Each structure stands twice: as structure tokens, then as C-alpha cells.
Structure 1
Amino acid sequence: MSALAARGVRVRFGAARAVDGVDLEIGSGEIVALVGESGCGKSSLARALLGLVRPSDGTVECADRPLDYRRLKAFRRHVQLVLQDPSGSLNPRHTVYEAVAEGLRIHKVPGDERELVAAALAKAGLRPPERFFLRYPHELSGGQRQRVVIAGALVLEPDVLVADEPVSSLDASVRGEILALLLRLRAELGLSLLVVTHDLGLAWNIADRVAVMYLGRIVETGDTAEVLTAPRHPYTKALLSVVPEIARQEPIVLKGETPDPSRIPAGCRFRPRCPAYAAGLPAELAERCEKESLPVLPADRGHHAACVLP
């Protein structure tokens, strides 16, 4: 059973096709990394999966059921967001206790509030939890603030966490601790995670599967080890070439900027920046690159790439 899924999802902002047809599944207890450069549409897809943006086409499913937009409050108990900037996520006027208890009060969760807040802080690695109750965000380190944000999500006992760049604002020494925490939460609580990131090194360290996004579409998807050691799409190869932990070749410098999502090229959307196309392809493949609109990649567990190259 999939914990959260996109089925043919499209998101438009005027003429801009931010998400242009995506099938993606996050299985129960699975960690999926959604990777790509800024402007590729990954945050718009995450917002659609969270119910913050309603797709112009396609459906979002939670536990194999279509999302009911009339019951978003109930849905958000099951799917919680962890933002990249803990300083911006926390109200500087609220104590740690108030920040974590806010979700309980909004959703009117029964039980002893103090005990539930303490349990969430302990799960997030802030022990003893009572020591943090009356602290304010400015009194905490960056890693501790991110743990408070995670505790605020955990207090509602969700099934899925959507983590948007969860360690990008943290020091290198703290990044590993937060990643280890997310892995422990998956192991202990059976949580599913969608990790939105531009960092393939992070995906290598945490994810079971990777989905690489470019200009509103997933262009390669599959098992993390398979995609990152034997990439099939030229875009994935370019991203990997600049990751120190993984790179086995000279960096591939892509020419030009990410195309305008309101003017997506015909044929392969990566063609204007593709090193393989620029270097020259056989006439038949070049024609397919220029004219053939590749289908949306399936959401199954196989290794797929939206590319005409063998």
C-alpha cells in the first residue's frame, strides 16, 4: 500500500506548468528523495501532495484513497511538513512547549497535553524534554530548533513526513545527526518520508528510492543505489558529476539556465541543455529528441528514465 501518491498530477500557475504530469508513490515505511535543481517543480509537487495546492489535473492519494479537499484538517494529521529553515518555522514569541502543543490544540487531540508534548520532544532527541519546555527558539542551537520542528510534526502521530530540504540550513556536523534521527524515526515508528532536496549526496545517505525532477517532470526514478551508480538520464549524470561522495568523472557543466516552465520545449524538455544532444546524435535519435514527447514515468519500483538514449 502506498502511504502517499501522485497520479498524473499537474500544477499550473497561469501559463507556467510547474508540475507537468507526475506519477510518484511513497510506500509504507519508505524514504523517497525528490531531487532536482531550483525551479524544477519539486516544491510545487510537495505542496500538491500536502494539499496546499490543488492540482489542475490528476489526483493525490493518501493510503490508496483520493484526497478529499473538504477534509484537509483530518488529512493533515496523517501527513506533516518539516520545513528547511527552523528559525523561520518557529514563532520567536512562543516557547518550545507552545510550538509543539499548537498542533494538538488545533486538532483537539485528546489526552494529557504535557505528556504528549514531552513524548514528541523525546522522540525528536530532546531529552529530558521538560528541560526544553520554557525555552525560546533563540536560546536553542540550529540542530535543536530543527528537532523542535520535527517534534511539532511527530506530536500528531502522522504516517508520512514531507521534509523540504531538512538539513540545508544546518552545519555539516549537525546534518548527520538529523539524518540519523529521520532514519531512526522510520525504523521505530514506521514513518514514510518524502525528502525534497537538491543534494544527491543526502539522497545517497538516506533514501530507499530517488526521483529526479526536471522542468515539471520526473526524468529518472528507481532504487537509490541503482540510479546513483548507473544513471541513465543525462541530467542525472550531470547532477552526480558534482557530488564529491559519488562523482567518478569530471564535472559536467550544463549550458544555459533552466527553461521557462511557461515555454516548455517540444520533444525532450532537457534537449536545449543536453550534452549528449549537443555533441551530436545519430539522425534518428536526434529527431526523436526534437519531436517525441516522452510519456510520464510509471510510479512502480523499477528503474526508469525519460530519455531516448539506450
Structure 2
Amino acid sequence: MLSVEGLHVAFPGRRGGADARAVDGVDLDIRRGEIVALVGESGCGKTTLARSLLGLVRPVRGRVTFDGAPLAHSARALKAYRRRAQLVLQDPSGSLNPRHTVYDIVAEGLRIHGRPGDERTAVAEALSRAGLRPPERFFLRYPHELSGGQRQRVVIAGALVLRPELLVADEPVASLDASVRGEILALLLRLRTELGLAALVVTHDLGLAWNIADRVAVMYLGRIVETGAVEQVLTAPRHPYTRALLSVLPEAPGDPVVLTGEPPDPSNIPTGCRFHARCQVLADGTAERAGVADACRSREPAVLHGGGESQVACHWALAAPREVSPAGPAPR
């Protein structure tokens, strides 16, 4: 349904310096009814990629294709596209107008897009699908009168009211209490089952990815470095970066992998593998013994294509036999 090909997004550098390459060559496909988790540490380009899928950030190169048609960035084309693809933001308090009632917040999309039909019925149906029942009880409430979980359900209802085919959810439960997180995740799974929704869920939480996603894409410094079925990637990770992310989970056996230094500046991406300066496999001599250390430092791995099969952008992982990571399975 959604296809990303060779996407590059850059932002002007500070004081006339080199551009920051926030998304630096990404291919990604999302099928109908599929949930894909995009994971990685802060600053890796996840949110920029998600926003570019909705036309909120214009790429400098590459293209986004939805239902076979390239995404155009004219106001008219984007308005039509956003009836079919909707964004769910991380902070419900920041994305809801405190002066508007729940009814007006959810009805706003209908009014902007002029969807035919009875407005009150559509709003009630969206709130009900989002788990706010009976919906009429919430019509005249304001955001400050709701709990955090209820506010996030209002955000989801506002996206659902247009009956979209794709949801892009940027850290949809990061600001919620642990007791509410499971309810929102269960809601997203139910919506996929009932409505056939596809979703891209942006998160730094590998446990969340394990619980909700069909497929996972691991992003580092503007590129996807590993992708595949969630069970395969999170139980037998091949990229050293994925292994490091999994090693710090509370349930992971063994000692956590502590990555040295900070992620490189996206305006000065290192030559070779962009992870090599922090790579534990290169640092402990494992890559040297496999005969790929020079390649790690000098040759950039190819961009992974957007298909669903297991892929990894790592010279050592491609040279080494597959094995189950000592990190073991992520918690379900």
C-alpha cells in the first residue's frame, strides 16, 4: 500500500555548515493490514521519516508511493491523501486544542475535508471505536477533564473519523502510564483487525515493537540497518546495533552492551559503515578475525530494499553464520 524508495531528507546546517542528513537513503514498504515498527534511539531520523510519509516534510530525493500513485506535495493532493493516511502524535495534551470540546476536536477532520454524511453519527462512531463509550458522554468534555489514556483515545478517534487506510503513530504510548499503555496497544491491534488498518508505529521501545508489530525496521543515523519479521529480528538479531538495543532489556541474559560515544553528527556521517565508530564487534576484534574490519571502516553497506524478508546492512553479519543472539527473545 505504501512504498518508500531512495528517500533522503536533509535540513540546513548551522551557520552555513553542511546539511544534516536526517534520512539518508531509505526504502520501506507497508502492506495493507500490516503493522510495522520503526525502532531506534533518539535522533536517528525515525520521526522525520514518519513525517515525510505524510507529506509534512518534503524529501530532497526519492519518492513516496501510496496505492500505486506517487505522493504529490501540492495542497490539493496532500489534502486528498490525508483522508487516507492519518498521524497519531506522541503527546495527546500537546495535540489537542484545550479550548475545543471532544466533539469539535473529533469533528474537525470532517469539517476540513467535507466528508458527506451525518457529522454527529460519524463522531460518535469514531469515539466508540476508540473505546470511549458511551460516546455522547464525552461530547462536551474538554481535554483537561480527561485522563491521559482518554486524551490519547480522543486523538485516535480524530484520526479514525475520516476512515483512513493507514495510521502513522509516533511514540503513541510514550507519555502514558504503564497501566494504560497496554490498553492503547490492544486498541491499535483491534482496529487493525476490525478495519484492516495498516500502521507504522515509531518507537524506541523494543518491547512495544514485539507486542504489536508484524515487522520491525531498525534505524540508525538516517538509515534502516536491519529489518524483517519481528520474531526473527528480536530473537535472532544480526546487526550489532540491534543486539546492543536488545541487551539492555531487563529480561535479557548477560551483561548489557554499552556503546561508546554518542551517535555521529548527521551533517558529518562517517565513511564506511556509519555504526563502525561505536561497534562492539569491531572494537573487540571479532570483525578483524572475520576479515571484514577494513570494509567496516571504508565501505558503506548497501541500502536495504523495502521488502518484507530479513535483511541486514552489516559487513560482519553478512560474512558470519547466523546465530541466535545472546540477548535472547524480547519480552512479550
TM-score (norm 2): 0.91
CA distance in structure 2 between the aligned counterparts of 1:9 and 1:65, rounded to whole angstroms = 16
Any gaps of 5 or more consecutive residues in structure 1? none
Q: CA deviation at 1:248?
A: 2.9
Aligned partner of 1:17 in structure 2 is 21
Aligned partner of 1:234 in structure 2 is 240
CA distance in structure 1 between the aligned counterparts of 2:255 and 2:3, rounded to whole angstroms = 36
CA distance in structure 2 between the aligned counterparts of 1:204 and 1:137, rounded to whole angstroms = 31
Aligned partner of 1:296 in structure 2 is 303
Q: CA deviation at 1:43?
A: 0.6
The C-alpha deviation readout for 1:115-134, integer Å capped at 9, x for no partner, is: 00000000000000000000
Aligned partner of 1:42 in structure 2 is 46
Aligned partner of 1:253 in structure 2 is 258
- Paired residue type of 1:296: V
Aligned partner of 2:16 in structure 1 is none
Q: CA deviation at 1:59?
A: 0.3
Runs of 4+ more than 2 Å apart: 281-284
Aligned partner of 1:208 in structure 2 is 214
Aligned partner of 1:61 in structure 2 is 65
Aligned with 2:184 (options 178, 188, 192): 178
CA distance in structure 1 between the aligned counterparts of 2:179 and 2:207, rounded to whole angstroms = 15
The C-alpha deviation readout for 1:80-129, integer Å capped at 9, x for no partner, is: 00001000010000000000000000001111110000000000000000
Aligned partner of 1:305 in structure 2 is 312
Aligned partner of 1:128 in structure 2 is 134
Partner of 1:22: helix, strand, or coil? strand
Quick check: 2:36–2:215 contact (8 Å CA) kept in 1?
yes
Partner of 1:52: helix, strand, or coil? coil
2:104 corresponds to 1:106: no
CA distance in structure 2 between the aligned counterparts of 1:249 and 1:55, rounded to whole angstroms = 41
Aligned partner of 2:4 in structure 1 is 6
Quick check: 2:166–2:199 contact (8 Å CA) kept in 1?
yes
Q: CA deviation at 1:69?
A: 1.6
1:244-283 → structure 2 map (5 Å cutoff): 244-245=250-251, 247-280=252-285, 281-282=287-288
The C-alpha deviation readout for 1:178-210, integer Å capped at 9, x for no partner, is: 000000000000000000000001000000000
Quick check: 2:36–2:217 contact (8 Å CA) kept in 1?
yes
Quick check: 1:5–1:49 contact (8 Å CA) kept in 2?
no
Quick check: 2:226–2:239 contact (8 Å CA) kept in 1?
yes
CA distance in structure 2 between the aligned counterparts of 1:129 and 1:222, rounded to whole angstroms = 39
Partner of 1:77: helix, strand, or coil? coil
Aligned partner of 1:139 in structure 2 is 145
CA distance in structure 1 between the aligned counterparts of 2:91 and 2:255, rounded to whole angstroms = 32
Partner of 2:274: helix, strand, or coil? coil
Aligned partner of 1:189 in structure 2 is 195
Aligned with 2:35 (options 19, 31, 34): 31
- How many residues align? The count is 307
Quick check: 1:17–1:216 contact (8 Å CA) kept in 2?
yes
Report the RMSD for the aligned CA atoms in angstroms: 0.9
Q: CA deviation at 1:4?
A: 1.6
Any gaps of 5 or more consecutive residues in structure 2? 13-18, 321-332
Quick check: 2:282–2:288 contact (8 Å CA) kept in 1?
no
Q: CA deviation at 1:298?
A: 1.2
- Paired residue type of 1:48: S
1:157-176 → structure 2 map (5 Å cutoff): 157-176=163-182
- Paired residue type of 2:68: D
Quick check: 1:19–1:44 contact (8 Å CA) kept in 2?
yes
The percentage of counterpart residues that share the same residue type is 71
Aligned with 2:125 (options 119, 137, 147): 119
Q: CA deviation at 1:63?
A: 1.1
